[in-house]
Structure 1
């Protein structure tokens, strides 16, 4: 009897010791998924990374050496960027061949090319490398693109994270952009078609970031620039106006005027500029019919398409980084204003 009571007491004691441990273990098992969920929420999203890139690109002082590759043609270029008294300044140059440079500062951009007279243009649009992707409104852009983190890699000796911007329709290209995890500056950009083929690539091979603006580029900001080029005004009273009845989601007409082109010495042509925040598309429309009225011309260089077609008794030329199907639909939708 005493032996039996001793066993019962021993079992009770063991259960008292083990039960809190089991409870703690059970609580731990419940808590772990909650902790994991919290950790996932804390990780930056693709949108956060892209917005960080936007801030870094516009506000840091840096020098980028990079390669632009399209159809097996590689061009080395350089960008020097700084911020002076709250104003951005960008110096850009081609590193091979004839000297070609530009300087953008305080609302104008100046061009210098070997063998030609330098000139300036009034422009507030950033013309430097990565500018279109870095200045995109990513929040509203999710109507046209889906943002996905692909993973990490190493670009130009820097730890980088890759973000894919997937087009939600067939009327624009997709992109993969690699960001430096230290500064969030863009290090590489691929333009990709629907078959996942890289049409064009821009990749940094050397990057230098400084706390202060380069003394050299600061000196450039104080020097006089070439005269502003004024384009001759054209008379449009007898020129037919045109409408574009179809545009891909996100695109809109941001410019509509008349141009004189070398191939049209007498009559100006209608000019439309379309933009979706990343891509600019130029549309030229002339009432002069070509000798090849029933044919179309397609020229592709990297991501840039040059498309010519006779539509509604007019010659339409479309130039931009868009798929062929987009150019065809835009051209087919062009109609005269009555």
Structure 2
């Protein structure tokens, strides 16, 4: 479970900040570099969209290598080494776990391969990850400012870099808040805390060591990604669909959360955490995964046939900031997963209905 917790957080934070879901949106190489901002300067009054767009663009234009540590309020602690490089619209990354079961994940735009050395299995897939900030380049249509406010609350040093500390405050009880450390010169996120409705830290992810503009070579990472000798290849096929086509709908919208995508996951893959790596291969005729986002937080609704041998425990579970709710409804097993408060998951579960 701890390995999945790390994998999920790393792929959501590290890959999300690198702009994987927005790879088709070019960033002009002529864009001016951001300069350091003092507390009293105009940068301190940036809007929530301005702050987030700056953070997003920073990692799309920087190569870096660093050690990343993820911890939760419950005491779980995991770490990994990250190599990230970009070349225009091409984004590539390697994430190597340093704790728990060995795991190496490579990502080139929407292509993902995860090497599991203990079992000598390499899982390949195409993943339309939401990332951390999925709607950042759609600021004209973004509802983020309607549900979050942003304010600069100070500055600190993280991994040797001066950083602005920005607080993202939710305007209702349906979403968590965030405290983000953004490197002053570039805007790169170097530390992130997810805060519960009382302001307590649920989960923290931070670089303990970071080298910006590191000499990371994309061709070298690509060669490592393609070297599957000695591994059994498992291709995870995710079939794109719509909830309506599968006979599902919501009775009412959950404020701020918009449907992003919908897939059929492989039979036997079950309902993992919202962004965890798949655990089994198979044909895409099993679990339905319907993904929603408010621009910052994401929620996945999983629907599968009820199996009494596997589906015995209803109710809530938590791992860091990730909450899950499972329940048996008629012939179905419903699981709602996301980095949101339990009442938000309950609202999704209550709104879900069979339309045919």
How far residue 123 of structure 1 moved from its aligned partner, in angstroms, is: 2.9
Q: Secondary structure of the residue that 2:67 maps to in structure 1?
A: strand
Q: Does 1:167 align with 2:170?
A: yes
Q: Does 1:50 align with 2:52?
A: yes
8 Å Cα contact 2:290-2:300 kept in structure 1: yes
Aligned equivalents of 2:165, 2:114: Cα separation in 1? 33
Q: Relative to structure 2, which stretch is displaced further, 44-53 or 143-152?
A: 44-53
Cα shift readout 1:75-105 (whole Å, capped 9, x = no counterpart): 1112211113541111111112332111111
1:108-257 matches, cutoff 5 A: 108-116=111-119, 117-125=121-129, 131-133=131-133, 136=136, 139=139, 140=142, 141-210=144-213, 213-215=215-217, 217-222=218-223, 224=226, 229-231=235-237, 241-257=247-263
1:1-338 to 2 correspondence within 5 Å? 42-47=42-47, 48-70=50-72, 71-84=74-87, 86-116=89-119, 117-125=121-129, 131-133=131-133, 136=136, 139=139, 140=142, 141-210=144-213, 213-215=215-217, 217-222=218-223, 224=226, 229-231=235-237, 241-259=247-265, 260-261=267-268, 268-286=286-304, 288=306, 296-311=314-329, 314-338=332-356
Structure 2: unaligned runs, 5 residues or longer: 1-38, 272-281
Alignment partners' CA distance in 2, 1:287 and 1:98: 30
Give 1:213 deviation, angstroms: 4.3
Once the two structures are overlaid, the 10-residue window that deviates more, 240-249 or 168-177, is 240-249
Larger Rg: 1
For normalisation by structure 1, the TM-score amounts to 0.74
Distance in 1 (alpha carbons) for counterparts of 2:339 and 2:298? 7
TM-score relative to the length of structure 2:
0.71
More helix by share: 1
Contact (CA 8 Å) 2:52, 2:136: kept in 1 or not?
no
Distance 1:138 1:241, change over 3 A: closer
Q: Deviations over 1:280-311 (max 9, x none)?
A: 32212245375999984111111111211234
Judge conservation of contact 1:57–1:134 (CA < 8 Å) in 2.
Answer: no
Name stretches of at least 5 consecutive residues in structure 1 with no aligned partner: 1-38
**Shift in Å at residue 257 of structure 1?**
4.3
Deviation string 1:228-252 (CA, Å, 9 cap, x unpaired) is: 7153879x9xx97221223433312
CA shift in 2, pair 1:153/1:220, >3 Å: closer
Contact 2:270 2:287 in 1 (8 A): no
The CA deviation at 1:118 is 0.7
Q: 1:301 to 1:44 in 2, by over 3 A?
A: same
